[in-house]
A and B are shown apart, each in its own frame.
Chain A
Amino acid sequence: MRRTAHQPNHTAIPALVLFWLLVPLTPLLLWVVASRWSGTARLPQDFGLRGWQEALDAGMLTALVRSALLGLAVALIATPLGVLAGRALGWRLLRRPALPSIVLLAPVVLAPFAVAMGLDVVILRLRVPGEVAVVLVLSVFALPYTTFTMRATYLALDPALEEQARVLGASSRQARRRVTLPAATTGLVTATGLAFLVGWSDYAVTLLIGGGQIVTAPMLIGSSAAGSGNDSLTSTLALSASLPPLVALAVFTYAASRRRTAAHS
C-alpha cells in the first residue's frame, strides 16, 4: 500500500520538471519548422525549412565551429587550472584558503559587463589580439566553475591514495596521472563541460572584448533576435546552438549510467 501511495511522486515530479523545461522550448521547436506563423494563429500556417536555409546563409556553421573552438580553448585553459586549484582547496594544502577562494569566486560575483569593460581597457593597452583576449577573459570566468567542481571532487577523494600509489612504486607524477586523476574522472568531465559551456554560450565578453569581430553562435542569435524580427531564423539559430551541448550531456549521462550499471553487475 505504501509503495503505491508513493509511486505517483516518483513519476509526477520528474514529469513536472520536464514539462517546465519543455514548455518554453515548444514555440522554438515549432518555429524551426514553420515558414509562416502569424501572431494570432495558435499553430504555424505553413511548414518548411526556410529558417534553416536562412541560418546557413547567415553563417551558422562557421559560427558554431567558432563557438566550439572558443569553448574548447577555454576548457583547455580553465580545466587544468581548476584541477590544481581544486586539489589545493579540496585537500587543504593551503594555509589560508579563504583569500584564494574569494579571488576565484570574484568573476562570478562581479557583473560580467563590468569585468569585461575593465579588462577591455587593459587588453587594448597591452595590444593582445582579440581572439586571445576573449579566450583569456572567458577562462577567468570559467575558473570558478572548474575550481569548485574539482574542489568538491577532491574533497571526496582521500589524499592517502597518492601515498598508497607511491609506496607501490609510483612517482608523485605517476600517482597523480594513474590514480587520483582517473579517480576524479566524473568531476573532471563535469568541470571540462562547464568550462566549455562558458566559452560556447558567451555573448557579453565576446561582444565587448571581441569588438563584434568574432562571430560566434550566441553573437549570431543575439543579432538576429535584436534586429531581424525573423523568429524562424532566430529559433533555428537558438536550437542549433542548444543541440550540441544537449547531445553531449545525453551521451555523458548515458556513459555514466552504463559505468554504474557495469560496476553493480
Chain B
Amino acid sequence: MTAALKLLAITHRHPGAEHPTLTEVDLEVQDGQMVAVLGPSGSGKTTLLRVAAGLEPAESGDVLLDGTSVLGVPPERRDLTVMFQKPHLFPHLSVLDNVAFADRLRGRSRSQSRAAAQRYLDLVHLGDLARRRPRQLSGGQEQRVALARALAASRRVMLLDEPFSALDTGLRTSMHQLLAELRAALDPTIVIVTHDLDEAGLADRVAVLVEGRIEQFDTIQALYTKPSTLAVARLVGAFNELPGTVESGVHHSRLGAFAVPPTAHVAGRAILLARKERLALVPPETTAALTGRVVQVRQSGPHRDVVVELDRARGDDRTRVEVEARLGTTLRPGDRTGVLLPGSGELWIVPEPGVSATPPPPARVSDSAPRVHATVTDASVATRSTKG
C-alpha cells in the first residue's frame, strides 16, 4: 500500500548552523492515519513539518505524497495544508470567508464556497459565528475556525503544528474531543506535532524526535511500556532508572539481579527502567521489600509521588526511587517505608546512551526467575519526568 505521506531520509540544516536540525528522518503516514511527532523543544518537530509542507528546503532526502516526489513543488501546489500554533485567521475576512478561502482560490463561486464553509463551521460547532470577524473570537474559537479552514481546504494530508498548545487545559481537552469527532466523521490523514503526551495519545502512532532524529516510531502504549532508548524514556517520564550490566539475560546492578524482559534485546551496559506507578509502598517489615526513608512527597495531578532514599545507599551516593502513591497516603518526609519492585514483566531495559541495542542473547533467564538482591553500594536510581 502506498503511504499518503512519506518522508525519506530528510536532512535539514538552518543557514549557518553547525549541526543539522534534522538528520536522515524517515516517516510514513498511511491514508486516514493520524501520526504524532513528539519531541522536546528544539528537537526539530516544526522544521520537519515545514519541510514536508515545502516552507523550508531539505538539504537532502525526499518528500512523497501518494508515492510522488513533491520536493521541488511550491507549498500551494502540494496536496497538503498546515494548521499552525497560532490560528493566523485573516483579519479582513469574516469567519465564514476565512473558512471559504481555499475554495475561493480554487475558483468556486462565493455562494458555493460559503455554503461548504458553513458545513465545516457546523462541524466544529461554530456555525452561529459565521459572520463575526476573527478579533471577536476567543482563543479556542479561533483555533476551531482554523481547524475548519484546514479541513475545508480538502487536502490529502493535514499537518498540525502544536495547534492547541496555547490553549488552557479545559479548552485543549475539548479540542482533543473535537479532533476525535472529526476523525470519526471525515477520516482525514493527519500529522500532528506536539510535546504533549496526552495529545500524542490521540494518534495511531507516535514518532519520537530527539535532537533531529527519530528515536522510536510506535504506539503511545509502547512508548510508556517499552521505550527504545533512554531519551525516549526520559521524554515520556516517570521512569526510575537503574544503571547496570546485562549478562545472559539478567540485569545486574547494585540493587540486585533482575530478569530482562524477553522482548528487550539489550546486552552489556544497560539501564533498567521501572515506572513509578509499578512500584508499591509497603510496610518496612514486608519480605523482599527494599527499605528506606521518605525524603519528599509531591502532589502530581490526582496522585502523590513519594521519593524514598533506600537504606542501602552508602557514602555520597543517594539511591532514591520515586513511587506513585494514592492520594490518601499518610507518609511524610522522615517516615520509614518499604518499596516493592515489580516483576520482570513490568520492567524494561534500554542500552546506556552510546551503547547500541543488540540481538537477543542466547541464554535468557525466565520472567519467573528469582530476584537476587545483592548488597547495595553506589547504585543510583533516578526518576525523570518531562511532563509538567
Q: Which residues of A contact B (CB under 8 A)?
A: 158, 160-161, 163-171, 174, 178-179, 182-183, 185, 263-264
8 A-B pairs with C-beta separation under 8 A: A161-B88, A161-B90, A166-B74, A168-B105, A169-B81, A174-B105, A182-B92, A183-B92
* Contact (Cβ within 8 A) B105 A263: no
Which chain A residue has the least Cβ–Cβ distance from B93? A182
> A182 to B133, alpha carbons, bound, how many Å?
14
> A167 to B88, alpha carbons, bound, how many Å?
12
Q: How far is the CB of B110 from the nearest CB of chain A, in Å?
A: 13
* Contact (Cβ within 8 A) A185 B88: no
> A171 to B77, alpha carbons, bound, how many Å?
8
With an 8 A cutoff between CB atoms, is B102 at the interface? yes
Task: Given A163-B55, A165-B101, check contact A183 B82 (CB 8 Å).
Answer: no
* Contact (Cβ within 8 A) B76 A166: yes
Q: How far is the CB of B243 from the nearest CB of chain A, in Å?
A: 45
* Contact (Cβ within 8 A) B74 A171: yes
With an 8 A cutoff between CB atoms, is B201 at the interface? no
Besides A164-B82, A166-B76, A169-B105, 5 more A-B contacts (Cβ < 8 Å) are: A161-B90, A168-B102, A168-B153, A178-B101, A182-B92
Interface size on B, residues (CB 8 A): 25
Which chain A residue has the least Cβ–Cβ distance from B79? A169
* Contact (Cβ within 8 A) A169 B102: yes
Contacts of B75 in A (CB 8 A): 163, 166-167
* Contact (Cβ within 8 A) B84 A164: yes
Q: How far is the CB of A67 from the nearest CB of chain B, in Å?
A: 32
Determine which of B88, B105, B135 lies in contact with A164 in the assembled complex, contact meaning CB atoms within 8 Å.
B88
Which chain A residue has the least Cβ–Cβ distance from B85? A160
With an 8 A cutoff between CB atoms, is B386 at the interface? no
Contacts of A161 in B (CB 8 A): 88, 90
Contacts of A158 in B (CB 8 A): 86, 88
* Contact (Cβ within 8 A) A160 B105: no
* Contact (Cβ within 8 A) A179 B90: yes
Contacts of B74 in A (CB 8 A): 166, 171
With an 8 A cutoff between CB atoms, is B6 at the interface? no
Q: How far is the CB of B171 from the nearest CB of chain A, in Å?
A: 21
> A168 to B93, alpha carbons, bound, how many Å?
15
Contacts of A171 in B (CB 8 A): 74, 76
Contacts of A264 in B (CB 8 A): 136
Which chain B residue has the least Cβ–Cβ distance from A174? B105
> A263 to B88, alpha carbons, bound, how many Å?
18
Contacts of B53 in A (CB 8 A): 167
Task: Given A167-B80, A167-B82, check contact A183 B90 (CB 8 Å).
Answer: yes
Q: How far is the CB of B294 from the nearest CB of chain A, in Å?
A: 50
Which chain B residue has the least Cβ–Cβ distance from A156? B91
Contacts of A169 in B (CB 8 A): 76, 81, 102, 105-106, 153
* Contact (Cβ within 8 A) A183 B91: yes
